[in-house]
Amino acid sequence: MPGIDECLSEAMSIAGARGVSLIDWSSGLSLGQAGTGPNGDHEAVAAEVTDLARAAADSPTFADPEDPRTPLRDLILTANASYHLLCFVDTVFDSRLVLYLWLDRAAGNLASARFRLQALAEELVLG
Amino acid sequence: MTATVGAPGETVERLAAAGATGALRGAGGTVYLVEGRVVHVESGLATGLATVLTACGRVSPATWLQTVRAYGPEHRVGRMLVERGHLTRGELELCHLDALYDAAFFTLTARTTTGVFEPGVRHWLGPVNLVGARALRRETVRRRDLLERIWPWPQVDTSPVRPGLADPRARQRLGPRRCRLLELADGRRTPADIARLLGRSAFATTVEIRRLAASGLVETPAPEPLRPAPPLTRPPRPVPQPPGLPSAGLPSRGPWSSEPRAFESAPAAPPPPGEPRRAARAGPGLLRRNPGESLAHPRQPRHAAVHPLSVHDPDVALLTRVLTALEDRL
């Protein structure tokens, strides 16, 4: 049964993974991280991922108003050399968590990375 | 049992540096340490682990009570919840970290500097996550600064939540999560009460309430009037501070003190008087008071951004700047 650390080290085994963190986007706290952050600073990453997740999940345009628990499944940002994947973690108890993966575009495969990240987010909660 | 003197965050760090095991009880809450690492924090102002897990139905109250009764004395409640299949390990870790930081915020920002350390006392939950004392204090400072940036009126955190008179269309854009929160704002419940009813973290709820107050959807109550400072009493036995740490500890602007607070009760760092954030929407019914005049309507103003200026404002602004500068050096 994986805990936070196992989930993060497993995410780092995704091909092309540069860094991963589990972020509480209600407060902006990084609950755990592995690898490197895009600026070498996981704390700054947590703050910026929080802003992005909040902007999307609180937006009546993007979020599903019928499902307050998981208004969004994931967000994908494509930059020139990397992808940024934000996978929302669905828990029964109230939480606002996102699993963030910084993925190298040349070394990684977006579809498979997205699939694995979602599976990891589910395993973290369901065991 | 040892009496401690010093800001709570600083005392926790000192105990952690000494590799202490035990419980530090203060006015805001209790911090549990095992061999110098923080294993749990509890605060009456935060939403506890039991409430978060039972409010949503993840663990039934009966199961929770039974597990605490059976394994609490052995300090194995967390482990047994997982072993018995009531929770997954990931859920327990996530929930525990949230509850720990939530309670730490209210415990470490308490202004009371006296506490009691009980060596050897362990929490019934047992070890789940270990957090460093310095990381805990840094996170608490970050959270307090976050609230200040959203809406610098700490009185909204502890006052009963009243819906404001914002444009009704703004409510429609809120989304179900914040609507649920506003539905429970009946003018009697505080943010902590609402958080408990919803089984949400008290800090996250406080963040939402400050955001709602900034947008005028929740009223910002008038700041408390200035009260005389309490007489200074000398601490019975001054405890030597470790070198390199500022003696003021974690300078809290949180309103969770049980002591009279002369400085805190004044408006803290208001937006510059000439440019309130939502000045364009301020209605004609809003009162501004000239320095020295008495306040005709104690509950005015009703809009968040336009608190009457008091004669003490320049001093408060200066003190706030000094405080911010000192905090930056922490």
Q: Is residue B255 helix, strand or coil?
A: coil
The residues, any chain, with a CB within 8 Å of residue B195's CB and separated by 6 or more, are: B47, B201, B202, B204, B205, B206
B93 vs A3: CB contact, 8 Å cut-off? yes
Instruction: Find the CATH number of the domain harbouring A15.
Output: 3.30.450.30
Q: Which of B90, B175, B200 minimises the CB distance to A7?
A: B90
Measured between beta carbons, which residues in chain A are less than 8 angstroms from residue B173? 60
DSSP state of B279: G
Confidence band of B177 (pLDDT split at 50, 70, 90): confident
B91 vs A123: CB contact, 8 Å cut-off? no
pTM beyond 0.95: the answer is no
What pLDDT does B170 receive? 76
Residues B91-136: pLDDT tens digits? 999 999 999 999 999 999 988 888 999 999 999 999 999 999 999 9
B88 vs A92: CB contact, 8 Å cut-off? no
Chain B's closest residue to A98, CA to CA, is B94
The residues, any chain, with a CB within 8 Å of residue B315's CB and separated by 6 or more, are: none
B97 vs A31: CB contact, 8 Å cut-off? yes
Residues forming a β-bridge with A17? A103
What pLDDT does B6 receive? 86
Sheet holding B2-5, edge to edge: B2-5, B114-119, B22-25, B30-34, B37-42
Domain that holds residue A14: 4-123
A60 vs B175: CB contact, 8 Å cut-off? yes
What pLDDT does B166 receive? 75
**% of chain A exceeding 90 in pLDDT:** 82
Q: Which of A63, A92, A95 minimises the CB distance to B98?
A: A95
DSSP string, B139-200: HHHHHHHHHHHH---THHHHSPP-B----HHHHHTS-HHHHHHHHT--SS--HHHHHHHHT-
Confidence band of B144 (pLDDT split at 50, 70, 90): very high
Residue B263 neighbours by CB distance under 10 Å: 16
- Residues within 8 A of B (CB atoms), A 25-44 only: 26-29, 31
DSSP string, A41-61: -HHHHHHHHHHHHHHHHT-TT
Confidence band of B278 (pLDDT split at 50, 70, 90): very low
Residues B268-277: pLDDT tens digits? 344 443 333 4
Residues A2-17: pLDDT tens digits? 899 999 999 999 999 9
Query: Would an 8 Å CB–CB cutoff place B177 in contact with chain A?
Result: yes
- Number of domains, chain A: 1
Residues B22-66: pLDDT tens digits? 999 999 999 999 999 999 999 999 999 999 999 999 999 999 999
B94 vs A2: CB contact, 8 Å cut-off? no
